[in-house]
Structure 1
Amino acid sequence: MSNDTAPEPAQQPPGTGPTAELPAAVQRLWGDAAPRRRGPKPALSAAQIVQAAMDLADAEGLAAVSMARVAEAVGYTPMALYRHVAGKDELLVLMSDAVARDLPDIPAGTDWRAGLEAWTRAQIDMGLDRPWFLDLPLSAVLPGPNRLRGLDQAFGVLRPVDLPADEKLAIIGLLAQHVLGEARVHIESHRGAVQQVRRAAGLPEGTPESELDPAAIEAADPYSDFETVLARYAEPTRYPHLFEAFSTWTGPVEVSPVADDITFGISVVLDGVEAYLRRRGAIPDDES
């Protein structure tokens, strides 16, 4: 037998090869099935449409995004948009991937824990910077090239960890769920505070946040004094365990080992991940 014989291609599970049927929106994310129309190539592009939609969402929220408003922003008729985007549902899919393009790179050589902390924090910051992302339906958050780049980075920091791919993916998924929960609490509480400040000042619903007092917004945060509420109102007969815990509480400790509640949450979750990795023998006992 000749040494030049080419190796046989690796076998792929059924339904996962190049001919596997994927949702049309996923194919279009990857440029495989863009809407086709006859006629000369127009100056407008899908990227321009998506950017205009994101700018509109940044300024006015996701509810302001419509094909008509986006068409107005790019200076075309709504029908012209359909040469590049199948409709609003697909536009939301494209936006959900485009928003991930600005996620920072994790420096090469970062250890697994610091890398996952940076990855998780960057995802939360992305949500806080663009709150409309949390308003997207889950059906719009599909695996496009930008989102897969972020996933690839997470796998990169987990490369030294001795776990199979599916377990690594499960860990990243756990962190992604934490991102959604953490970001939503901050975004919704901030929105509630802004709305309360508007009402208290007798201002119209659409008054920009930039015209409001930042100190008043911070004070109106419904969770800003949650511990104080517990300490004051958790009386012993109805809430014995809360009373016991907070009866001697004197307020937040300024020398807390964590900088803020976001860092605290990530740290606790990663403590659990680390304990799991040690139990699985995926990292040496002397490695953190």
Structure 2
Amino acid sequence: MNMRKTGDRKNRTGSDLLLRIIAGTILVCAGLFFWSANAVEITVDRAEPEPGGVRYYFTVKNWTEFDHDVRSWCDIAAWKEAPCAIEFGALRTPLDIEGIVLSASGWAIQHRSSDTMGSLLTKLSKRGFWVPYSSSVLVPNEKITNSLCIGVKATTIIVAASPSWAPCTPVGQHQLVSCEPALQQKTVSMGNVSPDTLRQGNAPIKTFTIDVNCVGHTGSGAGSVRMYFLGDFTSPGFLSLDQLPGTAKGVALRLKNQDNSDLRFGRNYIQPIPKQHGEGNFEVYTYTGNAQYQKTTNDISSGVANASLTYAIEYN
């Protein structure tokens, strides 16, 4: 039995039972988050998984040159006049300065003690910064936490100065970032079975598993990760063999869930996958099933007995 991850809309052939992932829904919090310290507003627009991490897209808005009632971020960073750098980025937690991940852009201005948020924006505009400002930051998997937030880093450009952060916007808790199969390819051999063994119903039962690795946090409730199956089936639990030259006759693959119930096919029979273990923001979910060759008629002819099955993952 051959289980292999493939990309969307890509068909590959293999021997025995071939499982493919065809769908996945990435759900992230995408609401508005307001900063209590000033009028500036930030939205976390979406998140997209990339190799090694997740890219968070955000927008800064509701900031005008008339915001003179709140002091400048650089004034928070420096008690005296000095050059100041403004950068956007992500922190693992609002107070974890060591966990900073910055976006690509930054701006340096000359700070004055009388600067407000309005005058800061005027100076930044002369450096190419405009509101609304949209950007993204790629956060490595090892730095993604439930407390991950996006904020503004204000750094005074003087020796031994420590950066400070404006209030940091959370990207959303209890939402799954991404899930994918643990292995690109997994083979479960069904073995060779004689026609007489099939007629007697004594073909060996093979247990197989599908591990799903998730980066993020699915919450404590059951049913956070779910799976359903699609295939060429003749009745509940019976998967037809691939019709290729040399295929055996009078045989089907009987599939059952771990509780020994017949595996049913289609979105209407979606089922939760139990979580096996997790640490930090990494969780592993495992589907366990059983496969067995069974006769569909006593008129059995020998041959290759491969079958193909498709599964889809949904999560929240």
Provide TM-score, normalisation by structure 2: 0.23
Structure (1 or 2) with the greater strand fraction: 2
Structure (1 or 2) with the greater helix fraction: 1
Structure with bigger gyration radius: 2
Provide TM-score, normalisation by structure 1: 0.24
